[in-house]
Amino acid sequence: MSIQAKLKDRTAAIGVVGLGYVGLPLLLAYARAGYRAVGIDIDASKPEHLLRGESYIKHIPGAEVAAALASGLLEATTDFSIIAGLDAIILCVPTPLDEHFEPDLSYVTDTVDSVVPHLREGQVLSLESTTYPGTTDEEVVTRVEKAGFKVGPQVHVVYSPEREDPGNPKFSATNIPKVVGGVTPECLAAGVALYEAAFDKVVPVSSCKVAELTKLLENIYRAVNIGLVNELKIAADKMDIDIWEVIRAASTKPFGFTPFYPGPGLGGHCIPIDPFYLTWKAREYGVHTRFIELAGEVNRAMPDYVIHRSMEALNSRGKPVKGSRVLLLGLAYKANVDDMRESPTFALLDGFKRLGAEVSYYDPHVPVVGPTREHMAWAGTASVEWTEELLRAQDCVVISTHHAAFNLTELATWSDLIVDTRNAMATVPTPEGLVVKA
């Protein structure tokens, strides 16, 4: 029976490799759609949580995991040999940058190498990890064919970029249109059937390269526009203009303008990283993507700008940054989630510590810093407790993430100095000079 037929009658078994912020919602989506859904991860704690009916991601309710487990459709393991019994395998693994801001595809290649020995004819293999155009052909297809399979007639290889937005109440894993590209027409047909089984809308494109570049364009668009508004924020500060008021005014134009907002830098797995995947690949073709690289430079410099503004604010009160107590509000990279990947708060922690400040953080969504690839020195550091005594003891509080859980009225009452990178204090009554925007 073909994969399309199995998907149509819901006898197909779907495997998801990598059970993080992308993989877990996808796994649960297939279980809700009535398919046997098998999660695979080398981190044993994740399958263990799922098999107890528990979620380890804050914005995914444990009740969703428990319901999928109770249905008998959810499975989880660290054993890649289970792939032989599956009909589709979807890879959702990280694609970070190395220390030289060049693509690190080791997670992809290592995972494909672990999958290939268990492949069989008739399966669909889909890569969802964000990467440069050509990755699927160069790194996935070559490994599948080296194992003796003919891509197209025997194993269907597709690329479908993830479009997760953790914590977004409007969009979930399945109501965001799903772009899919296949190596051959046969592959594309199988890929479309795979994603139509769980997603409201599927958008087929002519090749894996088109799908790969589509994801990069989406995030480069955001990175470049955020870089623009971050640069404008610095210029506006020098001119004693409130950039947030400017954005509000510009947003009243009903056409030709989309608001983007400044901050302390870029966070998350995609926007700080994806542009460099394209700039690296473009160099292979003799193209220098200056516009994209400039936006990256601006965004990477924002933590230093926030620290500089904080130093100026402390100096105006007769306090050097060395020895000052600095509290950072928000470790997660975006509001109301526990996702700390690539968070600019880490750069702020490093910068203030390097200058001799006594720096700490408060984030109810991240009570303890977990392992990170770039900031291992902070692993195990715990969030402070939110108390009047603690806040009054700080020389400076920097709002790096605007969580709804923050009591901004208490913050305004108990703090001596607030450096606001998110315009969080805009609607809170504060005495003159308490809040410095950065």
Query: Does a structural domain hold residue 368?
Result: yes
- 396 counts as catalytic: no
Question: 249 and 200 in one domain?
Answer: no
pLDDT at residue 145, rounded to an integer: 97
Q: What is the mean pLDDT of residues 150-171?
A: 90
Q: Tokens at residue 132, please?
A: 């440069």
CA–CA gap between residue 182 and residue 158 (Å, rounded): 4
Residue 359 pairs with which residues in a beta bridge?
326
In a domain, 303, yes or no: yes
Mean pLDDT of 389-395: 98
Q: What average pLDDT score do residues 119-144 get?
A: 97
> Which of 175, 210, 245 delimits the end of a domain?
210
Judge whether residue 271 has pLDDT over 80.
Answer: no
pLDDT score of 371: 81
The pLDDT confidence band at residue 413, using thresholds 50, 70 and 90, is very high
- 401 with 433, same domain? yes
Read off the pLDDT band of 221 (50, 70, 90).
very high
User: How confident is the model at residue 295, as a pLDDT?
Assistant: 92
The answer to whether the beta carbons of residues 324 and 416 sit under 8 Å apart is no
Residue 202 located in a structural domain: yes
Write down the pLDDT at residue 147: 96
Structural domain that includes position 150: 3-210
Domain boundary residue, one of 184, 210, 236:
210
Does residue 222 lie within any of the structural domains?
no
User: Does residue 286 share a domain with residue 144?
Assistant: no
Looking at residue 376, its pLDDT comes to 86
**pLDDT over 90 percentage in the chain:** 88
- pLDDT reported for residue 345: 96
Q: Decide if pLDDT at 269 tops 80.
A: no
Instruction: Tell me, yes or no, whether 337 and 196 share the same domain.
Output: no
Q: Is there a domain that residue 216 lies in?
A: no
pLDDT category at 341 given cuts 50, 70, 90 is confident
> Does 276 have pLDDT greater than 90?
no
**For position 387, what pLDDT does the model report?**
98
Mean pLDDT of 93-103: 86
pLDDT given at position 312? 97
Residues 198, 335, single domain; the answer is: no
- Total domains in the chain come to 2
Higher per-residue confidence, 196 vs 164: 196
Tell whether 215 is covered by a domain: no
219 in a structural domain: no
pLDDT at residue 167 tops 80 = no
Query: What CA–CA distance (Å, rounded) separates 398 from 436?
Result: 9
What average pLDDT does the chain have? Answer: 95
Same domain, 290 and 345: yes
Q: Model-level pTM?
A: 0.91
Residue 296 lies in a domain: yes
270-277 average pLDDT score: 80
- Partners of 325 in the β-ladder: 358
Please say if the pLDDT value at position 9 is more than 80.
Answer: yes
Read off the pLDDT of each residue in 381-387 and give the average, rounded to a whole number: 97
Average pLDDT over residues 23-27: 97
> Do residues 256 and 197 both lie within one domain?
no
Q: What is the pLDDT of residue 59?
A: 86
From the candidates 92, 187, 208, 270, give the one annotated as an active-site residue. Answer: 270
Q: What is the mean pLDDT of residues 246-273?
A: 90
Residue 172 has pLDDT above 90, yes or no: no
**Residue 239 pLDDT:** 96
Together in a domain, 319 and 363:
yes
Residue 202: partners with Cβ closer than 8 Å, 6 or more residues away? 177, 178, 180, 192, 195, 196
Q: What is the CATH number of the domain that holds 311?
A: 3.40.50.720
Between 376 and 54, the more confident residue is 54
